[in-house]
Chains A and B, each alone.
Chain A
Amino acid sequence: DVKVTQSSRYLVKRTGEKVFLECVQDMDHENMFWYRQDPGLGLRLIYFSYDVKMKEKGDIPEGYSVSREKKERFSLILESASTNQTSMYLCASSFGTGVMGETQYFGPGTRLLVL
């Protein structure tokens, strides 16, 4: 089974702190994604990566950055956390391109509270 793990289930941070959210997948997937999930808004794509050291902006990249130094690991960074970044953050991965790359496998999520 594909396993996507996220470093924390719950995090509480203060405004202005730098926050790192880590995601690791164990199935040698090329593609990795970071979403945030908010009530009434569904899932919105923040950043994604199709290869090591490669990244592309999603729909809402402002206030975030990412790092992918190794194929299995994709980190989301909040450079200076703000209260409007309080949310559930979901990481996902998928294999390759075309039809095989369409199914995404999700981690359990990190619920971040910024005070």
Chain B
Amino acid sequence: GDSVTQMEGPVTLSEEAFLTINCTYTATGYPSLFWYVQYPGEGLQLLLKATKADDKGSNKGFEATYRKETTSFHLEKGSVQVSDSAVYFCAVMNYGGSQGNLIFGKGTKLSVKP
């Protein structure tokens, strides 16, 4: 079945460092891809998404490009801030059933130090 693999954390960076969180997926067809973020004590919220190959999703300085040839959707940010400290989840939309359901990776915890 469909699955998502993302790099294990925790990831600790200094403020203004470059961030990459790797995500690869296994899915049939052309699924939509997502990054969700969970700030401490909160639920998940959508960070960005891409719905077709070569699309780039972006939001709050974060970017990810849908690479079908490598089945990847890596999250990047050029200069992280302390406020970016959170858990990041990569997800793929699975249309195996009658409706689509999200398949999540296990999450990557990011800590940014001042």
B46 / chain A contacts, CB cutoff of 8 Å: 103-105
| Given known A102-B93, A103-B49, contact A90–B32 (CB-CB < 8 A) | no
Within 8 A of B (CB), among A1-48: 4, 31, 33, 40-43, 45, 48
**How far does the Cβ of B92 sit from chain A's closest Cβ, in whole Å?**
10
| Given known A99-B51, A102-B100, contact A4–B89 (CB-CB < 8 A) | no
A97 within 8 A of B: yes
A50 / chain B contacts, CB cutoff of 8 Å: 98-99
Count contacts on A: residues with CB < 8 A to the other chain: 25
A90 / chain B contacts, CB cutoff of 8 Å: 43-44
Interface pick from B20-28, B67-75, B101-109: B101-109
Interface pick from A63-71, A72-80, A106-114: A106-114
| Given known A40-B106, A90-B43, A99-B51, contact A58–B99 (CB-CB < 8 A) | no
User: Which chain A residue has the least Cβ–Cβ distance from B4?
Assistant: A42
Within 8 A of A (CB), among B37-58: 41-46, 49, 51
Q: Is the CB of B43 within 8 A of A101?
A: no
Q: Is the CB of B43 within 8 A of A97?
A: no
Which of the residues A41, A45, A103, A109 comes within 8 Å of B43, measured between beta carbons?
A109
A48 / chain B contacts, CB cutoff of 8 Å: 99, 101
A102 / chain B contacts, CB cutoff of 8 Å: 32, 34, 49, 51, 93, 100, 102
**In the docked arrangement, what's the CA distance between A102 and B95, Å?**
10
User: Which chain B residue has the least Cβ–Cβ distance from A106?
Assistant: B43
9 contacts between A and B (CB under 8 A): A40-B106, A41-B106, A43-B44, A43-B104, A99-B32, A102-B100, A103-B34, A104-B46, A105-B46
List residues of chain B with CB under 8 Å of any chain A CB: 32, 34, 36, 41-46, 49, 51, 89, 93, 97-102, 104-107
Smallest CB-CB A-B distances: 4 pairs? A106-B43, A42-B106, A106-B44, A43-B104
